[in-house]
Structures are given as C-alpha cells and as structure tokens.
Structure 1
Amino acid sequence: MALSKNTRGVFFAIAGGIGWGFSGACAQFLFQEYGLDPLWLTSTRMTCAGLALIVVALVWYRRALKGLFSSWRDIVQLMVFSIFGLMLCQLTYLVAIQYSNAGTATVLEYIGPVLIVAATCFSACRLPTAREFIAMGCVVMGTFLLATHGDPTNLVMSPQALFWGLGAAVTAAIYTISPGTLMQRHGSIPVVACGMLIGGAALCLVTQSWNFAPEFGEGALDAEGFVALFVGLILFGTAFGFTAYLQAVKDIGAAKASLIASVETVSATAFAVLWLGTAFEAMDFVGFVFIMSTVFLLANFRSEEAVRE
C-alpha cells in the first residue's frame, strides 16, 4: 500500500534530521579518534556529497541543472550561496564540533533562525512581534546557560567552541537567505548539488586542504574511520540527509519539514552520548530546551522558505 504524500513527507523529514545528526556525531568521532583537520574534512565532505547529488540532478533534474547556468545573475547568486553560505556554514559547524561536541554545536547552529528574524525586523524597520521577542530572549538565555551553566563568572564552554558555534549560526542564517529565489526557479536539488561541489572545490583550492589529508591504513585512518567518513558523514549524513529533507519539503512544505527535521538536535545529542560517551550536565539540557523552543515559536515565520545546512 502506497504511503500518503503527508506520511511520506514526515518520514523523510525525520530521516533527514536523523541523518544530519548522525553526520555531526561521525565528525566528532573522526576528530576525537583520528585528529582530522576540519578544512580537509569540510572540503572532502562537500565535494563528495556534491558529486553524489550531481548524479541525482543529472538523472532527474537535467533541464533545471542546465538552466541554472544560463544566466550570469543566477551564476553569481549561486557562487555567493556556495561560498559565503553553504561552505562557511559547513566549515564553522565542523570546527564548532571539534572544539565542543556534536550536540552542542548543532543546538548553537539553531540560533540561526532567530538571527534571520532579527535581520528581517531590521530591514523592514519594525519591532519584533511578541513571539519573536520571546524567541530572541530564549536564545540569549539558552546560550548563556550553555556557556556558563548559570554562573557568569565561570565559562564552562571554551571560547573557541562558543565563537565557532555562534559563527555556525550566523552562516546558517546567510545560507538560508542567500539563495533567494534561486531554488524556486531551478529546484532545490540542482542548487544544493552545485553549491556543495563549488563550495568544496573552492575551499580545497584556496586552503590547499589536500596537504592536511590523513594517511590511510593501520595507525591512521583505518576501516572504521573510513566507514565513518564516507558512509556515515558523506553518504548517509550529507547526500541522503539533504535528499530526504528536500523530498520532505516537496511533500509537506518547508515550514513543516524544517520543524520536524529539528529532530537533528536530539539525534546529534543521542549519538554523542550513546555512541561517543559525551557527558552533558543538567544545565546543558536546560540551555538546549531554551534554544530549541525557538523552532516552535518561529514555526510560522514565513521568511524561512530556503533549505538549511
């Protein structure tokens, strides 16, 4: 019996969120066990996932993929999205994981929607609504609790983790805003596929990240690390995660899909605790609740129609 469109959309939104959360845990595992460089990991993740999604686009969205490069305006917009949105979002997120853990970095990244609200209010020269104002307050309180556990004289999170986590939130907001109507004109999968490939290739060339590539074999990146990298992080966490989420957006709409896909934070935290043995204190979870409550407070905020990291 065929699934209804709504049921299928909910399933894929959950699957995409779990995939993203698992990819964060895989990144934490690779940092902890193999000391991989985030520059190399980001460029490899994006390039490989971009190639996988390009194959999908060539099979099912060839006309849209070709149309994406038919206008200089679209090409410039794609470049901005690829480098200043998608690539920086991926890089800051992975560096935040390196300095903290998958759960904390993922929750901090979810400050991004509140930054979008603030930017929208500023550009429209209006004050936040009551719901938006409460969401901003929740973000401030949640970040404060994560960073200090309620004691302003004691920073329990490293300054680097806080800096890169907030950077991931800022770049996630840029990533959401920067494509504009590009996805509406050409479809999500062609835009994200090209964005992944362009962003990964640009980072690789600019930073010469191949100089930070790990050695393969015993004593370096062994079979377990290889599986975590290429199966967990790239194929399941990135290529499948994005494809599943985009299908959910198509089936049930961006607002509902993004709300359901916020299971990513639960997924990332659960994998960090159960698989990697990461320890969280009660105040960490209180901070998580404050920040994630903004997802529900802003569920009807209509400016967030683009696809996230």
Structure 2
Amino acid sequence: MASNQQNRKMGFILVITGAIFWGVGGTVAQKLFRDYSIEVNWLVTTRLLIAGFLLLSVQYFMKDRDQILDIWKHKRTAFQLTTFGLLGMLAVQYTYMASIQHGNAAVATLLQYLAPAMIIIYLTLRKKTVLTRNDVIAITLALVGSFFLLTNGSISHLSVPLPAIVWGVLSAVSLAFYTLYAISLLKYYDSLVVVGWAMIIGGFVLSFIHPPWQIDLSSLPMEAYVYLIFVILFGTMIAFWFYIESLQSLLPKETSLLGTLEPLAAVLATVFWLQESFGIVQWLGTACIFGLILILAFSKKTSKET
C-alpha cells in the first residue's frame, strides 16, 4: 500500500515537471527567436535530432533495446513510423515553433490545445464515437476561447499576427493527427521507440532543407547556449520522457489532466518573464480553453472507468 502511494507521488512529480518543462520550453524558444535571431527551422531540426537520439538512448539502456531495430523489420510498421515522423512529429514541432516565431508561446500553446476538439469532431464524423453533451460544451469553449484569445474581443483587429494564427491552427491539426495515428504503433512498441525514431526521421528530412551545421553560433552569449540546452534537453527530451514515465504509476486520465499545466506554464512565463501584454478578454479566452482541456480530461476519465 505504501509502495503504491509512493509510486503515485512520484508519478505526480514526473507529470507536473514534464508539463512545466513543455510550457516553459516554448517560451524559452520564443526568447531565442526574438532576442538572439535563432532561426526556427534550425532549432526544429537540431531539437528533433538530438532529442530523438537521447530518447532512443534511454530505451537502449533502460528498456527493451531490441525494439529499436525491430520496428524497422516489418514493412507495415516501417511505413507507419515514417508517416508518423513526417506528418506527425515534424509537422507538430515545425508548426508550433513557427507559430511562436510569428506570435508568442502563450498563443501558440493555447491554439495547439484546440486539437482535442478536432479529434472529437473527426471521430464523430467517422462514427467511431457518439457526440455527448460534454463534447458539445468542449467544442464551444474551444471556439469561444480562440475568438477571445485572438481578437481580444474585437473583430476589427487581431491581437496576434495572422501567420501566428495560421501556424497555430495547423499545429492543432498536426497534433490531432499525431495523437490518432500513433495509436496502432504504440500497441506493439514502447513510446520511447516510436517518438525517438519519429524525431530522428523528422530532423533528418528537415536537415536537407535547413542543415543544422550551417549556422554560426560563435557570436552568441553564454546565456543563449543555456537557453538552447534547456529547449532541447528539458523542453523536449526530458519533458516527454517524464510525461510517459508518469503513466507507469498514474492513470492516463490523471496524467492528461495534470498535463494542462503546460499551457498554464507557457502563459505565465510569456506574460511575466517576456513581458508580453495580455488583455482581460484574452485571459477569459485562456480560461475557456483551460475549461476545454479539463472537460475532456474528466470525460476521458468517466468513459474509461465505466
């Protein structure tokens, strides 16, 4: 009994830490774009390659190392993994970072959290699930929250640049695909293997367009290197690792609920650290999208327990 309680406590620590790293990592990336002219394509490429290698290293030393190569031995899983790496992982990472570059981390993160509503709509249209009252409320909150967030209550102007909105919505679409498409692979292979290889695939392909070695970092101050290490190590690799490790001792419903600390961390870091302005109506939009995430988390909990 005491052991189970201790495991649960560690699970809470892991998921909370991972979610905070995710949110703050996006804000740190925004500072790199804004203050040090770090190019978004270079950061995405470098982040994917290094984090993917680190995740596979964790799998090799801590879990079933045979899975790392076994996933490539079957044509079907190899094709699925390649598709997931390009249209899932690479698309999610690139669109999210591009939204941050054109806008800010808070708006980019919140727009990305429209993905759960998109997933509900998709599954309903495909008749794989029945639309419930909670689903309708969640979708409404997503639409209203986005309107408040992006317009600050006025249609006459947008409070963030249009490219940031477009990239942010594309990020949500990519995340929805990422979530749904990975399910079949995760039935047979550890998450570290699937996500680690997906990151390497995405980073490898992008490196042909934006080679990570074609950049001069010699003029950067030491603090910029610290920010880069944080984004790659903590904001990507450790954040994901801690999140999935928490599933060993927590129910998925609990992990997903605590994962809502990611956008909260992004918003707070953007407003208080980067001094980005956020109006009252935008805070109301933020509350609506938080409500969306909480409703979906509790809905998932109910459906899994019944």
| TM-score of the pair, normalised by structure 1 | 0.91
Mapped partners of 2:49, 2:238: distance in 1? 14
Matched to 2:151, the amino acid is T
Matched to 1:216, the amino acid is L
Matched to 2:86, the amino acid is I
Mapped partners of 1:278, 1:214: distance in 2? 28
Aligned to 2:59: 57
Mapped partners of 1:14, 1:125: distance in 2? 31
Mapped partners of 2:184, 2:247: distance in 1? 15
Matched to 1:180, the amino acid is I
Aligned to 1:215: 216
Q: CA deviation at 1:255?
A: 2.4
Aligned to 1:176: 179
CA contact (8 A) 2:54 2:237 kept: yes
- Aligned-partner SS, 2:274: coil
Unaligned runs of 5+ in 1: 304-309
1:191 paired to 2:194? yes
Mapped partners of 1:145, 1:162: distance in 2? 13
Q: CA deviation at 1:154?
A: 2.1
Aligned to 1:306: none
Mapped partners of 1:63, 1:214: distance in 2? 36
CA contact (8 A) 2:14 2:245 kept: yes
Aligned to 2:243: 245
Aligned to 2:86: 83
Aligned length: 298
RMSD: 1.8
| TM-score of the pair, normalised by structure 2 | 0.92
- Aligned-partner SS, 1:229: helix
Q: CA deviation at 1:245?
A: 0.3
Mapped partners of 2:185, 2:145: distance in 1? 33
Pick from 36, 40, 56: which aligns with 2:38?
A: 36
Mapped partners of 1:260, 1:133: distance in 2? 22
Per mean C-alpha deviation after superposition, the further-off stretch among 118-127 and 131-140 is 118-127
Question: What is the percent sequence identity of the aligned residues?
Answer: 30
CA contact (8 A) 1:36 1:214 kept: no
1:264 paired to 2:267? no
Per mean C-alpha deviation after superposition, the further-off stretch among 90-99 and 251-260 is 251-260
Q: CA deviation at 1:302?
A: 4.8
Mapped partners of 1:84, 1:179: distance in 2? 11
Aligned to 1:48: 50
Within 5 Å, which residues of 2 pair with 1:43-122? 43-60=45-62, 61-122=64-125
Matched to 1:242, the amino acid is F
CA contact (8 A) 1:21 1:266 kept: yes
Q: CA deviation at 1:103?
A: 1.2
